[in-house]
Amino acid sequence: MVVPVYKSKYFDNDCKCTDEDKKMAVRQMIDRTSAFLGRLNCLVIGPGLGRYDLMPEPLTAIVKMAVDKCIPLVIDADGLHYFSQISAQIENNAEIVLTPNIIEFSRLWTSSGFDPEILIDKSTGKIQPLKGHCVELSKYFGNVTIILKSHEDVI
């Protein structure tokens, strides 16, 4: 089920909205999500989310609410874009699943302060994360589960 919880015009980075309008939009996103959160078995964050400067604030609140209610989370696509910014809210939670592809994994790896050169296969010159890299990034983010989508998936 996809539930629209925000009006993108207020989140658009080029929005000519007032700060008050933006605060209202953030509050509405949090409130709308909170209203149905207790009925969910799982919350997926990411596909179709978009990349907006305002997004980390409501996502942090929503992730915190889900974690507090022990609702498993799947974070994919644009949700991964924000993950490094919101990860402090989800330490030590194995009920969170990240599903990056190789490029998304590389961005998470680098934004977390790890050396991106470690991910490069010297024989091919291509990014090739290994299981050990997934384990290391998982520990960094508080033991979340990582499903690396590739020609051979790594969990």
The pLDDT tens digits for 124-138 are: 999 988 899 999 999
The pLDDT tens digits for 29-82 are: 999 999 999 999 999 999 888 889 999 999 999 998 998 899 999 999 999 999
| pTM score | 0.89
The pLDDT tens digits for 84-101 are: 888 876 655 778 999 999
Contacting residues for 69 by C-beta, under 8 A, at least 6 apart: 37, 38
The CB-side HSE value for 69 (13 A sphere, CA atoms) comes to 20
Q: What is the pLDDT of residue 89?
A: 65
The residue behind tokens 């190789």 is 102
Q: What is the pLDDT of residue 31?
A: 94
